[in-house]
Amino acid sequence: MNEIAGFLVFPAIAAAIFVVMHTWLGLHVLRRNVVFADLALAQLAALGAAMAVAAGHPPAGTAGFSYAVFFAGCGAVVLTILRSLPERVSQEAVIGVLYVVATALTVLVVDASPQGAEHVKKMLVGSILVVGRDEVAELLVLYGAIGIVHFAFRRQLLAASDPAAPGRGVMRGVFLWDLVFYASFAVVVTSSVRLAGVLLVFSFLIIPAVIGSLYCANAGRALAIGCAAGIAASLAGFAAAVAYDVPTGAVLVASFGATLIVAALLKTRAKIAGLGAACLLSSAVLAQGAWIIAAPAADQPLLALLERTTPLRTDVFLDEAEREQRALAAVNEERHSDAVERLRELERASRWQGEPLTEEQVQVLGAHQKAYSEMARGERFVQDHLRVQARIRGRWLIGLPTLAVGLVALFAFAATLRRALRR
Amino acid sequence: MHDAEEPLGRLALTAALLALWPAATPAWAQVNVVVTTPDLKSIAEAVSGGAARVHSLIAPGADPEAFEPRPAHLVALREADLVVRVGAGYEHWLDRLIQQAGKPHLLPGGEGYLDASAGIALLEMRGRSVTITPGHAHGSANPHYWLDPVNGLAIAQRVAGALARLAPAQRPGIEAAHARFAAELRQRTVEWQKALEPYKGAPLVTYHNTWPYFARRFRLNIVEVIEQKEGVPPGVGRLAAVAKTMREKKVRAVVHEPFQPIDASRALGERTGARVVVLAPSVGSVAEASDYLKLFEFNVRGLASALAQ
């Protein structure tokens, strides 16, 4: 456990720093209604990094960062000018085009440099897990500077972001404040995307800000609520990554999504939320009932979940002989897989211990491994076939009651929900 | 009269030259060989003695996992007399390309098709089935068999044989070049084995499962492979487990390749005090490994110096 905690200290600190900075920027972004500007700027930063690699610089150096900031900065200028465009030109459309063209250009640039592809892939998923002390120190310095600017001029920046702020029309230098905002936004996104990846940075930016805005209109308090939610989501995400041993970046994004759902649920009346959940569950049950009748040989997700978590089994539809056959197949599959593993270990040990195996011996060993693998696959096929047989035999007996229950429940809950909403 | 006959005369001369032209070419006609990897290209060029023009579909230094077929590849295949592939599921995209090129002699079983893996003792065999097991997601065995110089000898022999079959007029040249290459490879293999002998059984951790054949030939002990599923970065639990194993087995080096994200290996190295050493999995993946022999030279010296500390 200590080992794992040691790995997570700096990533957790980095996540907290990211949450604070990005929530504040996210509140601005929501007010300006340019949610996907983040993706466009991140992709431009990726394009810059790809160009740096194509020009021969190492991807993670100062040159790479400068290229990325330059390209993201150009994007920032475009976004600033966007505000002055006539009404009929949709901002989101231009941002979307910027994102798509930047992505395509990145593919073309990466094509010219062999290692660029790996770097670009990394920018999507990120590698927050391997953030170290140096990176955290750099972040503190950079974000500290930007934070001071934003704190000192918070009133002007908020007024520039808010389209409905009184006196905004006559505010001097709105263009300048827009530029300051987008420029600082570009620098922050560039520095965070290389560590956390595009997906996670989007989550840091939007989700805590949405949660904060949901609960409070005042920017300062929304920031506090958003930060709290974001840090809680990050900790939950890291815990899940450890518990289920899954890629950290992706599970963090999922955790942020779940936190948003929880926050939204907490805001709605408990009764409505409960009825809504009950409706969803009834629909799932209804769908499963209809599905097993229509296509019993296909995957049955809800049924599989029930079989895994409860003592319910579709085995009852198999006769004694078939059940024995299935059990025997499972045992044999395990035996064959073990045999493959043992042979693998034997070969591995012979590489550096004792006498090396001759080419013929390796070939014979390989042939055995192949044969055992095929046999294991055969046993798996037998088990799958029997499982499908059981479901086919039980389709009406399982399907009709499930369908009926789901239908009745859905009607009941939906009616109650509609009544509750009308009040 | 004179003016009307001149163009006719020129025409007759040109026709005569064109008729005799095919008889003039065989002496320097090269066999067009298309191979899939730069390693095969290096071996093919070494044994051909100038009798073959070799083109590699995967460019040197390119990530083999990120290969994308292009019109230029189809053109190359259309002009090919011989196609040499690594096999063992390494290039699943080649079959489609050959079919699209529409040359029946390049299809499996044709006289212009050579699967270099036939006859090689493959390691880590699995069945034909595609299951989610750790290691290589594609193919039925570990495909990186060219990283064993003895397998390189086998590849050289088969390629030389195929070339001699397709260009019988140049057989003496091909056989001489092949003999030279085989002799040098054998001699250097002994030297490399001697260089790595002090580190026999040294525990290593690799990021990607590229090195079983290399480990077998040079008697190295690969304790753990960090990447369990191709392309998926390792999670915290996996990194912690590997770090624990590294401490228990006193692993001193983490072997890494130029295309893998280096952060996980570097983090592990920092936490356990092991050195991260970058080795070349293929000719051209690092600048120093410009041909098959230099590839091993780079890898062996690199590993030896990393383990020496």
* pLDDT tens figures, A9-41: 888 999 999 999 999 999 999 988 888 999 999
Flag whether pLDDT at A206 surpasses 80: yes
**Chain B contact for A238 (CB, 8 A cutoff):** yes
**Number of A:B CB contacts under 8 A?**
124
> From the CB of residue A55, how many other CB atoms can be counted at a distance below 10 Å?
12
Candidates A117, A246, A351; nearest CB to B219: A351
Q: Which residues partner with B85 through β-bridges? A: B115
The pLDDT value given to residue B88: 87
Amino acid, single-letter form, for residue B41: K
Band of the pLDDT at A67, cuts 50, 70, 90? very high
The pLDDT value given to residue A234: 95
Inter-chain touch A366–B123, beta carbons under 8 Å: yes
Between CA B122 and CA A197 the distance in angstroms is 38
Candidates B201, B235, B264; nearest CB to A245: B235
The pLDDT value given to residue B32: 93
Q: Which of B200, B236, B257 to mutate to probe the A interface, most A CBs <10 Å?
A: B236
pLDDT in tens, A387-418: 999 999 988 998 999 999 999 999 999 999 99
Tokens 């740096």 sit at which residue?
A52
Specify the DSSP element, H or E, that contains B82: strand B82-85
Please give the average per-residue pLDDT across B195-203, as a whole number.
92
Please give the average per-residue pLDDT across B58-66, as a whole number.
80
Lowest mean pLDDT among A144-148, A363-367, B132-136: B132-136
Lowest mean pLDDT among A53-57, A84-88, B112-116: A84-88
Flag whether pLDDT at B288 surpasses 60: yes
Inter-chain touch A127–B264, beta carbons under 8 Å: yes
Environment class of B13 (CB within 10 Å of its CB; exposed 0-12, middle 13-18, buried 19+): exposed
The pLDDT value given to residue B17: 61
Inter-chain touch B259–A353, beta carbons under 8 Å: no
What is residue A314's DSSP assignment?
Answer: G
Candidates B59, B61, B121; nearest CB to A362: B121
Using a CB-CB cut-off of 8 Å, the residues of chain A touching B244 are: 3
Mean pLDDT highest for which of A292-306, B16-30, B114-128? A292-306
Residues 6+ apart with CB under 8 A from A54: A109, A110, A112, A113, A116
Q: Helices (H), strands (E): how many in chain A? A: 16, 0
Closest to B58 measured CA to CA, from B285, B286, B291: B285
Inter-chain touch B201–A353, beta carbons under 8 Å: yes
Amino acid, single-letter form, for residue A309: T
Band of the pLDDT at B71, cuts 50, 70, 90? confident
> From the CB of residue B209, how many other CB atoms can be counted at a distance below 10 Å?
18
The pLDDT value given to residue A14: 93
Using a CB-CB cut-off of 8 Å, the residues of chain B touching A242 are: 235-237
Closest residue in chain A to residue B61, using alpha carbons only: A114
Query: What are the C-alpha distances in Å from B180 to residues A358, B51, B188?
Result: 25, 15, 12
Which residue would you say has higher pLDDT here, B35 or B239?
B35
The pLDDT value given to residue A372: 92
Chain A nearest-CA distance from B14, in A, is 45
Using a CB-CB cut-off of 8 Å, the residues of chain A touching B225 are: none
Residues 335-394 of A with CB under 8 A from B: 340, 344, 347-348, 350-353, 356, 359-360, 362-363, 365-367, 369-370, 373-374, 376-377
The pLDDT value given to residue B128: 59
Flag whether pLDDT at A298 surpasses 80: yes
Inter-chain touch A245–B219, beta carbons under 8 Å: no
- φ/ψ (deg, to 5) at A133: -65, -40
Inter-chain touch B212–A359, beta carbons under 8 Å: no
Tokens 């004792």 sit at which residue?
A354
Percentage of residues of chain A with pLDDT beyond 90? 50
Which residue would you say has higher pLDDT here, B12 or B163?
B163
Lay out the sheet containing B253-256: strands in order across.
B221-225, B203-206, B253-256, B275-278
The pLDDT value given to residue A354: 85
The pLDDT value given to residue A208: 96
Residues 6+ apart with CB under 8 A from A357: A347, A350, A365
Residues 6+ apart with CB under 8 A from B38: B56, B58, B59, B60, B282, B283, B284
Band of the pLDDT at B25, cuts 50, 70, 90? very low
Using a CB-CB cut-off of 8 Å, the residues of chain B touching A360 are: 121
Inter-chain touch A129–B233, beta carbons under 8 Å: yes
Flag whether pLDDT at B230 surpasses 80: no
R_g of chain B computed on alpha carbons? 24
Using a CB-CB cut-off of 8 Å, the residues of chain B touching A110 are: none
Inter-chain touch B131–A125, beta carbons under 8 Å: no
pLDDT in tens, A210-221: 999 999 888 889
Flag whether pLDDT at A166 surpasses 60: no
The pLDDT value given to residue B177: 95
Q: Which two tokens stand for residue B208?
A: 């990607």
Inter-chain touch B267–A132, beta carbons under 8 Å: yes
Please give the average per-residue pLDDT across B70-74, as a whole number.
86
Inter-chain touch A4–B237, beta carbons under 8 Å: yes
Chain A nearest-CA distance from B30, in A, is 30
Residues 259-318 of A with CB under 8 A from B: none
Candidates A247, A352, A374; nearest CB to B201: A352
Query: What are the C-alpha distances in Å from B7 to residues B4, B12, B13, B20, B21?
Result: 7, 9, 10, 20, 21
Candidates A248, A340, A353; nearest CB to B236: A248
Using a CB-CB cut-off of 8 Å, the residues of chain A touching B216 are: 350-351, 356
Environment class of A90 (CB within 10 Å of its CB; exposed 0-12, middle 13-18, buried 19+): exposed
Band of the pLDDT at B51, cuts 50, 70, 90? confident
Environment class of A93 (CB within 10 Å of its CB; exposed 0-12, middle 13-18, buried 19+): exposed
Q: Which two tokens stand for residue B74?
A: 């189809």
The pLDDT value given to residue B61: 80
Note the pTM of the prediction, 2 decimals: 0.78
What is residue A129's DSSP assignment?
Answer: G
pLDDT in tens, B140-198: 788 999 999 999 999 999 999 999 999 999 999 999 999 999 999 999 999 999 999 99
Angle (nearest 5°) at CA B297 between B291 and B300: 135
Band of the pLDDT at B4, cuts 50, 70, 90? low
Band of the pLDDT at A154, cuts 50, 70, 90? confident
Band of the pLDDT at B28, cuts 50, 70, 90? low
Contact A204, A19 (CB under 8 A): yes
Candidates B129, B243, B264; nearest CB to A373: B129
The pLDDT value given to residue B176: 95
Inter-chain touch B235–A248, beta carbons under 8 Å: yes
**Which SS3 state, helix, strand or coil, does residue B135 take?**
strand
Band of the pLDDT at B24, cuts 50, 70, 90? very low
Closest to A183 measured CA to CA, from A340, A338, A76: A76
Band of the pLDDT at B260, cuts 50, 70, 90? confident
Inter-chain touch B127–A373, beta carbons under 8 Å: yes
Q: Which two tokens stand for residue A160?
A: 């520039």
Between CA A409 and CA A422 the distance in angstroms is 20
Inter-chain touch B261–A127, beta carbons under 8 Å: yes
Flag whether pLDDT at A90 surpasses 80: yes
Residues 6+ apart with CB under 8 A from B223: B203, B204, B205, B245, B246, B249, B251
